[in-house]
Amino acid sequence: MTAGRLRIMRGREWARPVRPARREVLSVLPELEQGRPPLLFVPGFGHGAWAFAEHWLEHAASRGFPAYAVSLRGHGGSEPAPDASLRAYVHDVTQVAAELPRQAVLVGHGAGALVVAHALARYPARAAVLVAPVFGGWSALGAAVRRNPVGTLPALWGGRLRLNRRQLFSAELPDAAARAHLARLGRAGRRAQWRLLFPGGLEPAVGRPPVLVLGSPDDRVVPAAALTRVARRYGSAPLLFPGMGHDVMLDARWREPVDALLDWLVKEPAPAVAALSR
């Protein structure tokens, strides 16, 4: 673990530490302790812990997994932070994960998957799941502008990125539910939002944990080709759920992807670093 700690404790973190912030963490625990690793769900930009509390936290707990969801600073019930950076979001995730009772599985959705990908270089996760990952770049921006110019273009000048119903949900989700979810969306920090245009490189994950990528080929935010590219980065192929929108955890068939995720965790062996960090 010495090499891993050298990567985690960087000089920049000591010289320019991230400002502390009050973070909202929601949790649902199993009725019986089964020794399974805790799951830490990380919502995408504009979403809070509520997005996972709607269905996935309780469902994961019903299958024996302690389930937690964090609202990144400036989101959900966490402290407002209009100028939060991507680095600050990564700090939020690593700090919450470090406080969990056992080595955690990090599950990131959308841009929250990019946060998780960066956090893996700082926290020795047992495993990671990237759900409909938004890793940014100009190709992703071009796709967003074509599909939702009114909601996307203001974000280029520091405005709020607004995703619409067709991007986030399938036609199967009742309109009333879709409207209720859309009304809860907030906005990411300006600096963090800009990092989606210039995502930069990713450092190697501590301990090389197994990584699962899942999403929908019908996602209007993340093209299927982007899912494949991210999965190849981790040496695998994406697990796809046709007919779903970007917010698979809130869509009508939310149960299918979370059950697949949990099934994978039951079968997937823990990385070698797990034995060193208990």
Considering only CA atoms, which of 128, 89, 124, 118 is closest in space to residue 5? Answer: 124
pLDDT of residue 4: 40
pLDDT of residue 18: 87
Q: Region of 216 please: left (phi>0), alpha (psi -120 to 50) or beta.
A: beta
pLDDT of residue 277: 36
pLDDT of residue 227: 95
What Å distances lie between residue 246 and 111, 122, 167, CA to CA?
11, 27, 6
pLDDT of residue 150: 54
pLDDT of residue 85: 92
Is 40 within 8 Å of 107 (Cβ atoms)?
yes
CATH 3.30.70.2470 fits 2-277, yes or no: no
Per-residue pLDDT in tens (0 to 9) along the chain, 278 residues: 334 444 444 556 656 788 889 999 999 999 999 999 999 999 999 999 999 999 999 999 999 999 999 999 999 999 999 889 999 999 999 999 999 999 999 999 999 999 999 999 999 999 999 999 999 765 665 666 566 665 565 555 566 667 889 999 999 999 999 999 999 999 887 888 777 777 778 999 999 999 999 999 999 999 899 999 999 999 999 999 999 999 999 999 999 999 999 999 999 765 644 433 33
Considering only CA atoms, which of 63, 278, 245 is closest in space to residue 167? Answer: 245
Is 212 within 8 Å of 236 (Cβ atoms)?
yes
CA-angle at 111, arms to 110 and 117, nearest 5°: 105
pLDDT of residue 273: 40
Q: Tally DSSP H helices, then E strands, for the chain.
A: 14, 7
This prediction has a pTM of 0.88
- The label of the residue with tokens 């932070």 reads 81
